[in-house]
Amino acid sequence: MTEEERIFSGKLFASEEPELVAKKLKAHRLSQEFNDLFEEDIEARQSILQKLLEDIGEGTIMLGPIRFHYGCHTKIGNHCFMNFNFTVQDDAQVRIGNHCNFGPNVTIVTPLHPMLPLSRLCIQCYLMNVGASYAVMASSDLYAMQSLSRLATIVGLVQTLSYARE
């Protein structure tokens, strides 16, 4: 099983495998190229997004700067809006539906690192697939981020405990 197959099946994976590193470097380079362009460079920016993402819908706008960890694990629907500092750490699949709007400083994070000291010794992490299938408005609201952080910690702990039993 390849590391990417492990990612999509929700298993622990080694993020420093050469194939994954190459995909991350490509995404980081394309993100930077996008950020180096001005907002009025619409065609050049769209061209970069088409190379960067698995799929991007019609009429979707990203102001930038943007950062994608892999890019190729993210699909974005039609007529979405991403405000400044949109970050997606898409180790697992990220699916954003049509007519979704994101405020400034939004970060979508899929990996969960092991929580127990013994489990943290290995260079692997867990994943949570993330999706928004209908119109949503997101912002960097502290309370929402704290709630997501608690959820991620609980999910990570449960996964770590089940991995320790295997």
| pLDDT tens-digit readout, 25-78 | 999 999 999 999 999 999 999 999 999 999 999 999 999 999 999 999 999 999
Domain-embedded: residue 73: yes
Residue 146 placed within a domain: yes
Provide the whole-model pTM.
Answer: 0.72
pLDDT band at 9 (very low <50, low <70, confident <90, very high): confident
Specify the pLDDT at position 135: 39
Domain span holding position 102: 3-160
Residue 151 lies in a domain: yes
Inside any domain, residue 43: yes
- CATH number of the domain that residue 116 is part of: 2.160.10.10
Instruction: Say if 165 falls within a structural domain.
Output: no
* Catalytic entry in 28, 73, 99, 113: 113
Is 113 one of the annotated active-site residues of the chain? Answer: yes
What pLDDT was estimated at residue 142?
Answer: 37
Indicate whether 84 belongs to any domain: yes
Mind listing the pLDDT tens digit for each residue in 10-27?
787 888 889 999 999 999
Residue 141 forms part of a structural domain: yes
Report the number of distinct structural domains present in the chain: 1
The closest of 115, 105, 114 to 145, measured between CA atoms, is 105
Confirm if 115 and 157 have CB atoms less than 8 A apart.
yes
